[in-house]
Structure 1
Amino acid sequence: MGDWMLTKGLPPGRRPRPLSPLREHLRDTFWFAPTAALVLVLIVWTAAEAADSALLEALRSSGDEEAVAELLGIVNDAKTVVTTVSAAMMTFIGVVFTISLVAVQMAAGQFSPRMVRMFVRSRITKATFAVFLATFVLSLLVLTSYDSHSDPELVSSIPLVQSVLTLTLVGLSVVLFVLYVNSTLRLMRVGHVVDVVTAESLRVVARMPLDTTDGAPPDLGPESDLVAHHGRAGVLRDVDITRLVRVARRHGVVLRLIPRVGDFVVPGTPVIAVHGGTVPAGPRESRLRVFVGAERTFHQDLGFGLRQLSDIALRALSTSVNDPTTAVQAVDRMVQFLTSVARRPLGTCQYRDRAGTVRLVQPVPDWTELVDLAFAEVRMCTGHQAQVTSQISRRLLAGFDDLLAVVPPERRAPLVRHRSLLVEAVERSVPEAADRAFALRPDRQGIG
């Protein structure tokens, strides 16, 4: 059973479909969903207005003025609701999202500033904001369709379909508001936060190609060309793998990404090495879809999840917070992630074209680097307070023992090294023999 089975919500036997860089970047923005909703509501309102006009013409053609009068009465009753919605919705949006942003700021201060990204990427958040704005705009548009005449023979418009559509959006807004409040409250719970971070990290593992090797890349021959970064300085977010493979196949070369995803690059930095030929200069070929941004993302960054979990643990272990239980929960997920990649090749990903020829080589963190990222900083935080030392050291020791039981022999060295350093740190910081023995007793719950 493949490692991808560990991905949350993935049916056995299936791998997740990787997102394109464009889709991934749109998920990291907050403007796209509301903008799309506003465009859609304009289209729907136009269609609804046409339907109302067609309905009125059909009733008048049949000579059923009594039905026109009944519809006019229904629409006038709905106008009160539509007017109230248009007056209150924008205020409601402002109050709700102001309170939510304060809650997100508190969560970011408690866990890590990178947790704001979870709020931005939340589908419920975007859907709620988009539907709220769509309801507000639609209510204004519908109000313009109401006729000032009360005589059924003189009215030129009866916005029945438009009113029903507005009331439907109001109902949908109520449902999404409940879901949104629940989602925001969950964002403030450390258990949910570390669960989401771990699930995203496992999806990155699942999207990695199975053609991955340990250590350095295979012999690709001498470098024949280098492609420098010509864009703005920033963190390497991801690369367009499909385009890189296509370009390499077109020119009969092998491309090797020099920096890892998550590294900071500046203009002029070599980002791609070409082996076996050259790639002609030009905007379509030389830049090769290397994307940089202000911060790291999960899209192709294998170590970003461990970085966030480590940040949560470090903040919890700081003297200003002093919350070792939260650190234990973060360590739980670190162990889970490392277990999922314990027997998986790491170090170099290889992407092949349709003929099976390697066209792109991408470096990823190897096993030792992932272990160091997960445990080095957390281990160094032990020793400044007896409670913290006992609880986090017991959890770390249990984690090391669990990982040593599942990793192959050649991957035990970094775990043994961190375990030995942790024992030495506890022996130095805990003077009493009984307390020292207690702190060195492995426990998956820390101190229960």
Structure 2
Amino acid sequence: MKVPGLVKLSDLWDTLRTSYWFVPTIMAIASTALYAALQTLDTNLDKKLVYKLGWVFTGGPDGAREVLAVVAGSMITIAGVTFSITIVALTLASQQFGPFVLRNFMRDTGNQVVLGTFISTFIFCLLTLRTIRGTDRTTFVPHLSVSMACILAMCSLGVLIYFIHHVSAFIQASNMIFAVSQDLEQAVDRIFPERLGTVNETEPDTHWNKFVENADNAPVRSVEYGYIKAVDNDLLLRTAQENGLVVQMLKRPGKFVGKGDEIAFVQPGGSVNEEVESAINESLLLGPQRTTTQDVEFVFSQIVEVAVRSLSPGINDPFTAIICIDHLGQGLRRVADRSIPSPFRYDKKGALRVIAFPVTFSELVDSSFDQIRHYGRSNAAVLNSLLDTIGAVASHVGREEDLQVLQHHAELILKTASKGLKEEEAFAGIRSKCFATIESTGAKGYFCSAGLKEDSIFTAKQGKS
């Protein structure tokens, strides 16, 4: 029997967190245990003590049945109403924010606890109701259990008030985007600091050239299909070390893998067997959708989707798009402060074992700005916000190549504005801010990516108009 690795356990925990049934199930089990404990106390409880305690239920069997029946009936009714409100909230959130952000709503602990409270109270009352006896031969009233049912009913009323407030606040755009932004910060902290295996960055080009020049490569193909949710790097490194291999991964988390697609190259090719292919396939955790386990680009895409939807003609809400841009900038600042892990990973003896290229700062910037720039090309406020964000992120960037990426996107925004903005004043404002942003990132009078002079685009704009 194989012991699941940390990556699979992490993915399992993430799946349980995003399910709407896990927390209610735990709470239902807890209510059953509470019922068993209180039944034991009720069985051994002195009746004289019951009447001394003013807060304990002191009624007879008929009164106890009526109280429990009312509480149980009301709880299952409220649970149904809560479920209906949840479906409506999910529908509205899906239409406004897109289907991907529903994951945040589903895994929200508050929503799960609310449903779990109602179900747990219902189960507790139902189990307690069956223990009441009121015949001529024997009479038994679980006084403590009935009292606890009343306490749970009062707690459920408070939870219902919380739920109405929580759902109303949660589906607001700013709160939803902030929740996704927090996921983004956690994903950056979780993914970028990790160095898997022993990393040696002194001669990366040499190792890569040797791998490319070596013709003894054998491909490993996928036996399943789906999105890569995570890669078990420990299993991959251990497999390569035990078999004396160098494995180059062709896919990273977030990419789609079709059945039969090449997922890795292995050197030496003659060492590839069924066991090695099975281990490499097992190191890839596939699923029907992308997750945030090792896919930080997916979290950026969630915020971008909200921004793009808000810029659609049907919604036309640039203020929400600007909020998204602000949070994307915060995520890029966090990435800019981190070191991108080396693609070359070594075993403890210093031998190269795995080559796996991570997502780069350039790719994250492209994912963050490309679509928003395209769909916001006719809105000066959105383009201004993009330039402000680029300037803010540039102050955190320490790598020259990353500064060039930001400069390139500033130039693209100016080109987009020249075609999308009809007002000369609006374009002039974008032009001035773009030049200021370019200068703040390090360029001196020229756009680094295309070598265009400052006045070239403005001249073309005047000629066009």
Is the pair's TM-score, using the shorter chain for normalization, greater than 0.5? yes
**Aligned partner letter, 1:194:** I
The answer to which of 128-137 and 342-351 deviates more is 342-351
* 1:350–1:299 distance in 2 versus 1, CA, 3 Å: farther
**Aligned partner letter, 1:154:** T
- How far off is 1:302 after superposition? 1.3
- Indicate which of 400, 404, 411 corresponds to 2:402: 411
Where does structure 2 lack aligned partners over 5 or more consecutive residues?
1-6, 435-465
Name the CA distance, whole Å, in 2 between partners of 1:375 and 1:217: 34
State whether structure 2 residue 230 is matched by structure 1 residue 230: no
- Indicate which of 361, 375, 381 corresponds to 2:369: 375
Name the CA distance, whole Å, in 2 between partners of 1:181 and 1:279: 58
**Aligned partner letter, 1:193:** M
* TM-score for the superposition, normalised by structure 1: 0.80
Determine if contact 2:82/2:115 at 8 Å carries over to the other structure: no
Q: Which residue of the partner structure matches residue 162 of structure 1?
A: 145
Q: Deviations over 1:308-331 (max 9, x none)?
A: 111111111111111111111011
Count of residue correspondences: 411
- How far off is 1:346 after superposition? 2.9
**Aligned partner letter, 1:93:** A
- How far off is 1:368 after superposition? 1.3
State whether structure 2 residue 17 is matched by structure 1 residue 23: no
- Indicate which of 288, 291, 315 corresponds to 2:285: 291
- Indicate which of 383, 389, 396 corresponds to 1:393: 383
Determine if contact 1:396/1:442 at 8 Å carries over to the other structure: no
Q: Which residue of the partner structure matches residue 112 of structure 2?
A: 126
* TM-score for the superposition, normalised by structure 2: 0.77
> Residue 406 of structure 1: SS of its match in structure 2?
coil
* 1:90–1:363 distance in 2 versus 1, CA, 3 Å: farther
Q: Deviations over 1:108-160 (max 9, x none)?
A: 211222121111111111122122211111111110011124x7x832x3323
State whether structure 2 residue 199 is matched by structure 1 residue 205: no
Determine if contact 1:382/1:426 at 8 Å carries over to the other structure: no
Structure with bigger helix share is 2
> Residue 110 of structure 2: SS of its match in structure 1?
helix
Q: Which residue of the partner structure matches residue 14 of structure 1?
A: none
Q: Which residue of the partner structure matches residue 89 of structure 1?
A: 75
Determine if contact 1:279/1:285 at 8 Å carries over to the other structure: no
- Superposition pairs of residues 69-218 of structure 1, within 5 angstroms: 73-74=58-59, 76=61, 79-149=65-135, 154-155=138-139, 157-208=140-191, 209-211=193-195
Name the CA distance, whole Å, in 2 between partners of 1:85 and 1:237: 44
Determine if contact 1:347/1:365 at 8 Å carries over to the other structure: no
Determine if contact 1:238/1:300 at 8 Å carries over to the other structure: yes
Q: Which residue of the partner structure matches residue 314 of structure 1?
A: 308
- How far off is 1:257 after superposition? 3.6
> Residue 236 of structure 1: SS of its match in structure 2?
strand
Name the CA distance, whole Å, in 1 between partners of 2:372 and 2:315: 15
- How far off is 1:295 after superposition? 1.7
> Residue 330 of structure 1: SS of its match in structure 2?
helix
* 1:75–1:266 distance in 2 versus 1, CA, 3 Å: farther
State whether structure 2 residue 239 is matched by structure 1 residue 240: no
Name the CA distance, whole Å, in 1 between partners of 2:326 and 2:367: 15
State whether structure 2 residue 336 is matched by structure 1 residue 342: yes
Determine if contact 1:34/1:126 at 8 Å carries over to the other structure: yes
Q: Which residue of the partner structure matches residue 262 of structure 1?
A: 254
**Aligned partner letter, 2:156:** S
Name the CA distance, whole Å, in 1 between partners of 2:205 and 2:50: 78
Determine if contact 2:251/2:263 at 8 Å carries over to the other structure: yes
Q: Deviations over 1:323-342 (max 9, x none)?
A: 11111101101111111111
Determine if contact 1:394/1:440 at 8 Å carries over to the other structure: no
Name the CA distance, whole Å, in 2 between partners of 1:143 and 1:160: 11
* 1:421–1:282 distance in 2 versus 1, CA, 3 Å: closer
- How far off is 1:353 after superposition? 6.7
Name the CA distance, whole Å, in 1 between partners of 2:348 and 2:152: 47
Name the CA distance, whole Å, in 2 between partners of 1:361 and 1:165: 60
Name the CA distance, whole Å, in 2 between partners of 1:345 and 1:188: 35
RCO greater where, 1 or 2, for CA within 8 Å and sep 6 or more? Answer: 1
> Residue 412 of structure 1: SS of its match in structure 2?
helix
State whether structure 2 residue 365 is matched by structure 1 residue 363: no
Name the CA distance, whole Å, in 2 between partners of 1:288 and 1:74: 62
- How far off is 1:268 after superposition? 2.1
Residue identity over aligned pairs, in percent, reads 24
**Aligned partner letter, 1:315:** R
* 1:210–1:36 distance in 2 versus 1, CA, 3 Å: closer
